[in-house]
Amino acid sequence: MSNVFTRTISGVIFLLIVTGALLSGAYYTLGLFSIMTGIMSWEYLRITLPGKISLPGILSVSASILIYAIPFLISHLELSYKLLFIIVIPIAAIYISLLYTKKSQTVEYRYHPFLLAPLLYIALPFSLTTAILFRTAGQFNPGLLLSLLIITWVSDVGAYVAGISFGQKNGHKLFPSISPKKSWEGFAGGLLLAIVSAFVLTHFNLINSGLTHSIIISVIVNIGGVLGDLVESQLKREFVVKDSGTIMPGHGGLLDRFDGTLISFPLAISYILIFNIT
């Protein structure tokens, strides 16, 4: 019970911080999500690279932050997209720095792919959120991103409650080779609450394109979130790591909290843009 309480309090505090940043404006959102991108990239490298993270890892984290922050600033300030080429600098610096990094510090040749992975796995999905934050040039509108986060959070609660209530003892395992605790009962509970959240979001006009689109988005976010969670679980199992970090008591690291969004957000945002949902 104490773990459930800790998990709940930690989750609520984090929910308030993220929601508060989105509702406070563009620069609060930029600051918070840049920090989160950096932390998750750091957590990923701590999982995949042996020993202490040295200069190449720091440059990888820096590149991840820039991949998120530069498109955000370009969209908000209506700057030239040529500024995206700034990202090339830390990426090139990663490999240059490897020339001067001793093997005893961290990185050998076979670990090169892990230095670029956070850029594709974490920073790119987060940077895509800019496409729905600035549907009108320069105008910050957090409604759609907040909707995706609400669906994610509600779905997580539904999966957690249904999984504990119906899936632990006599439940049906969802993917036992990767995540033994996940059950089809938990999946059903998460999907049900995700669809319920679609009704609520449509009612309060956070998604303005009709109930059908809202339900489809909620299903995409739910299924994508489950797959994203399994992807990170497989990564941790491969490297024999329980949690990506300790920043969120009861949850683990930020990567543990946002792993589902790294798959679900790109899929949902693609759907939103294709059908021009507002």
Dihedral pair phi/psi, residue 248, rounded to 5°:
-120, 100
* Token pair recorded at residue 125: 């999905």
Q: What is the mean pLDDT of each run of 10 residues along the chain (278 residues)?
A: 74 93 97 98 91 85 97 95 93 88 59 90 97 91 96 94 84 89 94 97 91 97 97 94 88 93 97 93
Helical (H) or strand (E) element with 183: strand 179-183
Burial of 265 (0-12, 13-18, 19+ CB in 10 A): buried
Calculate the alpha carbon distances from 242 to 212, 227, 234 in Å: 38, 18, 11
Has this prediction a pTM greater than 0.85?
yes
pLDDT of residue 138: 86
Neighbours of 20 (CB within 10 A): 12
pLDDT at 249: 84
**Which two tokens mark 259?**
């792993």
Q: Are 223 and 194 contacting, i.e. CB atoms less than 8 angstroms apart? A: no
Place of tokens 């300030």: 77
Taking residue 41's Cβ as centre, other Cβ atoms within 10 Å add up to 28
CB 123 within 8 A of CB 37: yes
